[in-house]
Amino acid sequence: MKKYFSAIILSAALFSSGCVKEDDFLDKKPTDILLDEAVWKSKKLVLNVLADLYDRIPNFQSIDGYWNYGNFNEGFISRNGDRWRFQNNDWGYGEWGMWDYGYMRDLNIAIQKLGTATELEDVDRNVFLGETRFLRALLYFEMVKRMGGVPLITEPMTYDFSGDPTPLQHPRAKEADLYDFIIAELDAVTALLPDNPGDKTRATKGTAQAYISRVALYAGSIAKYGGTTPSVTLVGGEVGIPASKANTYYNKALTAAKAVQGYSLYLKKPADLADNFANIFLDKGGNPEVIFAEDYKLKSGKVHNYTIDNQPMSMTEESFGSGLNPALNLVQEFELLNNTYAPLNNTNGSDFVYYDNPLDIFAGRDARLAGTVILPGASFRGRPVDIWGGYMLADKSIISGTNFGAQKTLPGKTAPEVVVGEDGPIPGLEWSAQTGFLVRKWLDPNAGAGSLGTASDVWFIRMRYAEVLLNAAEAAFELGLPEAKDHINLVRRRAGFTTDLTAVDITFDRIVHERRIELAFEDHILWDNKRWRLAHKVWNGSAMTEADLKANMGKSDKINTQVFGLTPYKVYTPGVPATNGKWVFKIEKPNAVTGADRFRLGNYYSYIGDDVINNNPKIVRNPNQ
Amino acid sequence: MKKITNYILLIAAIGCFASCAKDNYDAPNATLKGRIVYNGQPINVEYNQVRFQLWESGYVNVKPIDVTIAQDGGYSAMLFNNTYKLTFPGGQGPFMTKQSGAAKDTIVVNLSGNQELDIEVLPYYMVRDAQFTASAGNIASTFKLEKIINDANAKNIDRVTLYINKTQFVSEGNNVAKTSINGADITNPNSVNLSVAIPSLVPAQNYVYARIGVRIVNVEDWIFSDVKKITF
């Protein structure tokens, strides 16, 4: 007890000695953080700040969170914890909302400080200013496409502790004004940013122009197609853009797209266009197509698990894989090379169609199919994947197993043998290819990329030249200019199409379709369908049948509410050599798919949090609330 | 030392139990329930799609309590006794509220104890006299469509659909079979006929639930007839 007592005395003594030099004690310079005055003097330190600001660019569907690719029926997620994505009937009003004025404040502070940072050289300072203003424009774009008009704050605000917060409360800007601001800012920073197409991870002139083409296109299509959903507007213009502005925006988009110079479509492997397409996303050495990317680096801490989660289960480096299974809905939309649409030919009406090789059913299609999706019978890392659902007997009954590569004895045989692929598909089995397909886009073929200790450093491309061409094509199409076909044909030739589309072929449906195919799994499907006001038609809540799946192909408003899969079966008919050993395909919904997605009109602009509205009574509620 | 530990545990345990009694709030004990009606007749809507909001006063930060309307137009909410403001968010329901326009009309609800409250609204259409019959593997229906709003706010019918389902939840998202007729193809709204073939039901059952849905141009939510159970 005495010991405790002396300890207490000792600590009391320590405290009182600390109190003596009170002023010094409270006025210590921190040794673990750099202060404002120091940071904005040094080029290296500003670069550090900038690295953090770049790192905070928001993503929605990205390789950082592959499960979000399962949201819109372009893919199925094999992981058990994601079944709800296919059992839901609608999306919450708050989904994909964003109200990030914390990041906005940091950007505004950086812009303000850089404006007065006289100790930096002007050359550096201007580039930094250009980059921070670019990032701020990007953040406003991310917010406006989710929420509609948000308050436009261009300076860091400071509270004066007067007890009255009203000077900090700003109303929402009009949606059109916000788009105008973003375009004007991006325009202004092109004068500050370097013209360096070789820099893929920092903003350059080309990056800014490419983003103008995207932003102006979004604004143009909201102006043009917003009229089809009259209830999705607000009287104050916080949501909705007047139709009269459409052509101005489309012109801007087209001009900006043409101003993107120094980039070209990736074509390093013209002999194999599918590999070439897959390599766009993997090749970090002098890739002429990439405009802006979020980079990753092995052994730096900034790596991602996309390959770990999505590598084929049959060759996994961990105990799981095959997370994202592209849907048949997407796969069948890849055109035949004669520019026509056709569902996969699995049945002739009365019987299955028999194929010698599982890949044959996909023959003669757009090279981007094999570049985006690992098809049954295709290879990854030089090894064939093992996707097949079982044996089909003469009476069309199926013999299959319940685990990867399960064995059973076929009728007429004595020894058990493998009756289902090492990759599945096995209905309901986690980590099996439940749609019969695996994803190839973004998937890292390097050894070790699929192991947790190493992971992958494939970068996430936010903007690439093919999109700029498609932006130009769409803007030109909406303006009625014949050059639309030239831009779109460049992209299509790279996909293996030998017959160009003519001006007559270019329809709204074509534009929508081309973007869906070229930019699959690149975070476009939601935003595109929103701005075209197609989302409530495409995801209309009706359950789909196989006939619905095969109907209306290539139509922009074709419904896509449920995921379908295509299961390959080996035929086992020992007495009938015409069919024995051949392959047949069955169209099946993965058994977790029970809901039919319905995009409600209220989903077009996300719910503004009640806390936001409570803190700022000037905020006008969105149409859904 | 061990004794001290025991004492500490005991005191902690006492503290825990004591605090539990104090922390508990009363549960909400007043039920507000009723129906969405037009001239006293309930308006049938889709399950889990139409909602209204209750705003409870007396707090600094207000947050609406969402109340979802059931298929048959009914609703119920467990609440505290207080004064509530009841509003419909924009674009909710196949109807207009009684006083529309830019201002949301607000119904003030003074709740003290259980209360029943029918909310009068103006639907664009009503499905009247829906009759369903089963014969030869088909469900046939006849019904009338009455246009309620005829002024400048009138809207046309986009399409009318007969749905059947295995369970009593019947709508666009929940059905085993449906047939539709476009609004433009309806010649006599006082006698519309629709018929749908009953598909094979797994597991087999000798009844289905059916109802008529009306989709109105530029209105998101459908308006329905009553759900009818039909045995065949």
The tens digit of pLDDT for each residue in A564-609 reads 999 999 999 998 889 999 999 999 999 999 989 999 998 999 999 9
The verdict on residue A398 lying in a domain is yes
The answer to whether residue A38 scores a pLDDT higher than 90 is no
The answer to whether residue A334 scores a pLDDT higher than 80 is yes
- Judge: B173–A542 Cβ closer than 8 Å, yes or no: yes
Interface test with A, best of B50, B166, B174, B175 (most A CBs within 10 A): B174
Answer positive or negative: Cα dihedral of A173, A178, A184, A190. positive
What is the tens place of the pLDDT at every residue in A204-231? Answer: 999 999 999 999 999 999 999 999 988 8
- Judge: A601–B91 Cβ closer than 8 Å, yes or no: yes
What is the tens place of the pLDDT at every residue in A59-94? Answer: 999 998 999 999 999 999 999 999 999 998 889 999
What is the tens place of the pLDDT at every residue in A360-397? Answer: 999 999 999 999 999 999 999 999 999 999 999 999 99
The verdict on residue A412 lying in a domain is yes
Chain B residue nearest residue A87, CA to CA = B173
Quote the CA–CA distance of A333 and A545 in Å, as a whole number.
17
Task: Report helix, strand or coil for A293.
Answer: strand
Contacts of B102 in chain A (CB under 8 A): 235
* B 90-119: CB under 8 A from A: 90-91, 102
Strand duo A379-380 + A383-384: pairing:
antiparallel
Q: What is the DSSP string of A569-615?
A: EEEE-TT-TTTTT-EEEEEE--TT-----B--GGGSSPPPPHHHHHH
CA atoms lying within 13 Å on the CB side of residue B130:
26
Quote the CA–CA distance of B204 and B166 in Å, as a whole number.
10
What is the tens place of the pLDDT at every residue in A264-293? Answer: 999 999 999 999 999 999 999 999 999 999
Rg (CA), chain B: 25
Q: Would you place residue A480 in the very low, low, confident or very high pLDDT band (cuts 50, 70, 90)?
A: very high
Strand duo B74-79 + B30-38: pairing:
antiparallel
Q: Is B60 at the interface with chain A, CB within 8 A? A: yes
> Contact, A179 vs A240, CB < 8 A?
no
Cα distances (angstroms) measured from residue B71 to each of A196, A357, B93, B211: 60, 51, 12, 11
* CA distance, residue A148 to nearest chain B CA (Å): 16
Structure tokens at A577: 């050599």
Q: What share of chain B is helix, strand, coil (3-state, %, to 5)?
A: 10, 45, 45
Q: Is A614 at the interface with chain B, CB within 8 A? A: yes
Of the candidates A90, A230, A235, which has its C-beta nearest B102's C-beta? Answer: A235
Contacts of A229 in chain B (CB under 8 A): 218
Rg (CA), chain A: 28
Contacts of A623 in chain B (CB under 8 A): 90-91
The answer to whether residue A138 scores a pLDDT higher than 80 is yes
- Judge: A231–B62 Cβ closer than 8 Å, yes or no: no
> Contact, A113 vs A40, CB < 8 A?
yes
CA A189, A169, B58 angle in degrees (round to 5)? 150
What does the pLDDT read at residue B18? 58
The verdict on residue A476 lying in a domain is no
Range of the domain at A403: 312-441+564-593
* CA distance, residue B82 to nearest chain A CA (Å): 20
Shortest CA distance to A292 belongs to which of A523, A525, A529?
A523
Chain B residue nearest residue A92, CA to CA = B49
How confident is the model over A131-145, as a mean pLDDT? Answer: 97
What one-character DSSP code corresponds to residue A67? Answer: G
What does the pLDDT read at residue A526? 96
Of the candidates B63, B172, B218, which has its C-beta nearest A231's C-beta? Answer: B218
What does the pLDDT read at residue B92? 83
**Within a 10 A sphere around the Cβ of A435, how many other Cβ atoms?**
30
The answer to whether residue A533 scores a pLDDT higher than 90 is yes
- Judge: B173–A600 Cβ closer than 8 Å, yes or no: no
Element (H, E) at A16: helix A2-20
- Tens-digit pLDDT string for chain B (232 aa): 566 777 776 776 665 555 555 567 788 889 999 999 999 899 999 988 898 999 888 777 788 899 999 999 999 999 988 889 888 887 788 888 876 544 457 888 888 889 999 988 889 999 999 999 998 889 999 999 999 988 888 889 999 999 999 999 998 888 889 999 999 999 999 999 999 999 988 888 999 999 999 999 888 889 999 999 999 8
Interface test with A, best of B48, B56, B57, B61 (most A CBs within 10 A): B61
The answer to whether residue A7 scores a pLDDT higher than 50 is yes
Q: Is A547 at the interface with chain B, CB within 8 A? A: no
Predicted-complex ipTM score = 0.81
**Where do the domains of chain B lie, and which CATH numbers do they carry?**
30-123 (2.60.40.1120), 125-231 (2.60.40.2060)
Longest dimension (CA), chain B: 93
Q: What is the DSSP string of A489-500?
A: HHHHHHTT--SP
What is the tens place of the pLDDT at every residue in A243-265? Answer: 999 999 999 999 999 999 999 99
The verdict on residue A342 lying in a domain is yes
- Judge: B173–A541 Cβ closer than 8 Å, yes or no: yes
- Judge: B89–A235 Cβ closer than 8 Å, yes or no: no
Strand partners for B87: B53
Contacts of A540 in chain B (CB under 8 A): 172
What does the pLDDT read at residue A8? 59
**Within a 10 A sphere around the Cβ of A126, how many other Cβ atoms?**
17
What does the pLDDT read at residue A549? 94
The verdict on residue A355 lying in a domain is yes
What does the pLDDT read at residue A178? 96
Burial class for A380, CB neighbours closer than 10 Å (0-12, 13-18, 19+):
middle
Task: Report helix, strand or coil for A177.
Answer: helix
Quote the CA–CA distance of A248 and A54 in Å, as a whole number.
30
Contacts of B89 in chain A (CB under 8 A): 602, 621, 624-625
Cis peptide before A425 (omega within 30 of 0): yes
The answer to whether residue A241 scores a pLDDT higher than 70 is yes
Task: Report helix, strand or coil for A355.
Answer: strand
pLDDT top residue among B19 and A619: A619
Shortest CA distance to B121 belongs to which of B41, B47, B224, B56?
B41
Structure tokens at A366: 């757009």
The verdict on residue A393 lying in a domain is yes
Of the candidates A89, A541, A610, which has its C-beta nearest B63's C-beta? Answer: A610
- Judge: A624–B91 Cβ closer than 8 Å, yes or no: yes
Q: Is A89 at the interface with chain B, CB within 8 A? A: yes
Task: Report helix, strand or coil for A347.
Answer: strand
* CA distance, residue A624 to nearest chain B CA (Å): 6
> Contact, B33 vs B116, CB < 8 A?
yes
The verdict on residue A401 lying in a domain is yes
> Contact, A53 vs A135, CB < 8 A?
yes
Q: Is B218 at the interface with chain A, CB within 8 A? A: yes
Residue type, A433: A
Shortest CA distance to B53 belongs to which of B126, B131, B105?
B105
Contacts of B61 in chain A (CB under 8 A): 610-611, 614
* CA distance, residue A556 to nearest chain B CA (Å): 19
**Within a 10 A sphere around the Cβ of B179, how many other Cβ atoms?**
16
Counted domains in chain A: 1
Quote the CA–CA distance of A126 and A17 in Å, as a whole number.
50
Task: Report helix, strand or coil for A475.
Answer: helix
What does the pLDDT read at residue A183? 97
The answer to whether residue A622 scores a pLDDT higher than 50 is yes
Q: Is A609 at the interface with chain B, CB within 8 A? A: no
Of the candidates A541, A614, A623, which has its C-beta nearest B91's C-beta? Answer: A623
CA A20, A22, A24 angle in degrees (round to 5)? 115
Q: Where are the alpha helices (DSSP H) in A305-461?
A: 306-310, 328-331, 367-372
The verdict on residue A511 lying in a domain is no
Q: Which residues contact A525 (CB under 8 A, 6 or more apart)?
A: A61, A72, A74, A516, A519
Structure tokens at A337: 């090379």
Chain B residue nearest residue A595, CA to CA = B173
How confident is the model over A499-527, as a mean pLDDT? Answer: 95
Strand ranges, E, within A367-476: 373-374, 379-380, 383-384, 391-393, 398-399, 407-408, 417-418, 438-439, 460-464
Q: What's the mean pLDDT when you consider all of chain A? A: 92
Q: What is the DSSP string of A18-58?
A: HHHTHHHHHTPPPSSS--HHHHTT-HHHHHHHHHHHHHT--
Question: Given phi > 0 = left and psi -120 to 50 = alpha, else beta, which region is B209?
Answer: beta
How confident is the model over A443-466, as a mean pLDDT? Answer: 94
